Amino acid sequence: MIAAQRKALFCLFIGGAIFVSWGSYLAWTSPYGMSAFKAIFYGARSLLRHSDPYNPAVFQQVYQSEGGKFPSDQAEALLFRRGSLVCVNLPTSLFLIAPLAILPWKLASLVWMMLTAGCFSLATFLIWKVAKEDALKPATLLIALLLSNSPLIVALGNLSGIAISLCLFAAWSFLEEKFARAGVICLAISLVLKPHDAGLVWLFFLLAGGIHRKRAIQTLGIAAVLMLASVLWISHVAPQWPQEFRANLHMLSAHGSVNDPGPDSLTFISADYVISLQSPLSLIRDNPRFYNPASYLICGLLLLAGAFRVTRSRFTKQSAWIGLAAVAALSMLPVYHRTYDARLILLAVPACALLWKEGGRLKWIAGAMTTLAVACAGDVTTALLLGMTQTIRDGMGSLGGKLLAAFAFHPAPVILLATGIFYLWAYFLRTARERREFGLEIENTASRSR
């Protein structure tokens, strides 16, 4: 057993080495390296200079005055201006990054890369420690695959790397009953950095009741304090920030812009494309009046069913990991997310290991669905699919061609939906079985007492 664990640790080390080295290489050599962090860093830098970060003209002026440069290619410059030099980060993000923004850009970006790589590596190791107790080999292979397939987390410097890592640590802390106070703080920071990543995980613990509801409420209290402090600061510097923030969101989500989920988006053919359910639905009909309600309806019904089940079920650690696997997959789909956000699927690894240990028909389905989710949302897999994009797009005129395109070069939303449905079904089965076993246990106890 010790030899097997050593081999597993070596496998994780190789995956982690690929993750850190490849991500760092892309960060320093790619024209888009650390582009997401630039939006956060220079936004916080603007606030420190008492300038309005949500005014694109002021933001870009601060960027240029700090020595920032634009790509020479006109198309790349347009993408850079819209993707990196328009602030759509929440005030809490700028508030928390402000201490780092005091440093020079190169030093700050290096520190951020180290923080991102370190936090994500630690989070994956903790998840592996939980999963390996049930199934060492599947857990190791899944996490090693995810690590080696995630260089953009380091390369782009997006807040998701830190936010997801903190969310994973909080889930581990709550379910393993270790470092609960640190877990509460981590979930609160994750919630104010990326609420659309951590929000449903927080809601799961709130609905679960008991000590977990108490921790969720404590998390909300800390998050509220951070939000209040950041809003007070930014309102002093830029009183009109709410209107500018909404305008920036609208501009980036407009048809053909960076965050448009449709096929005319500037980033539709990229390794970090939008993976919300709107993306494949837009291939059928590229109209927000179609794909937004359809996405909300599909995901809303699934999430409501899951939420009702959580409130009606007895909480156990095993069922919680399966429930969080469903949450991790489904939370990517209703609203805007990109491929790097899908690293939250790490929450499915302990559930997969648990079902693998129990055997039966769910073992193979869990292994296949989790592997597909980890692989299809990965950076390397997505980049490999880009080579066949143009060929498929040429045949997108018919409905069959559009469906083929959705499955072929935008597989992540479809796979995540299928994974979320599977784990939701597994959660229903698990909680029903635990309810029966608990009822039998009560009956046996009562009969013995007589």
Q: Is the pTM of this model over 0.85?
A: yes
Question: For the chain, how many residues are written?
Answer: 450
What pLDDT, on the 0 to 100 scale, is given for residue 164? 96
Q: How far apart are the first and last CA of the chain?
A: 45
What pLDDT, on the 0 to 100 scale, is given for residue 403? 64
Among 358, 351, 343, 305, which residue's Cα sits nearest to residue 324? 351
3 state DSSP class of 273: coil
CA distances from 141 to 77, 130, 307, 399, 435 (A): 39, 14, 31, 37, 33
- In this structure, the number of other CB atoms found within 10 A of the CB of residue 433 comes to 11
Both tokens assigned to 175: 């379910």
Among 322, 275, 331, which residue's Cα sits nearest to residue 302? 331
In DSSP terms, 338 is beta-bridged to: 274
**What CA–CA distance (Å, rounded) separates 254 from 249?**
9
What pLDDT, on the 0 to 100 scale, is given for residue 339? 87
Among 421, 329, 409, 320, which residue's Cα sits nearest to residue 373? 329
CA distances from 59 to 25, 247, 253 (A): 27, 14, 19
Residue with tokens 């640790």: 9
What pLDDT, on the 0 to 100 scale, is given for residue 225? 96
Per residue in 205-242, pLDDT tens?
A: 999 989 999 999 999 999 999 999 999 999 999 899 99
Residue ranges for the chain with pLDDT beneath 50:
none
Contact status, residue 396 vs residue 283, Cβ threshold 8 Å: yes
Interacting residues of 226 by C-beta distance below 8 A, sequence separation 6+: 92, 95, 96, 188, 189, 192
**What CA–CA distance (Å, rounded) separates 127 from 339?**
20
What pLDDT, on the 0 to 100 scale, is given for residue 197? 93
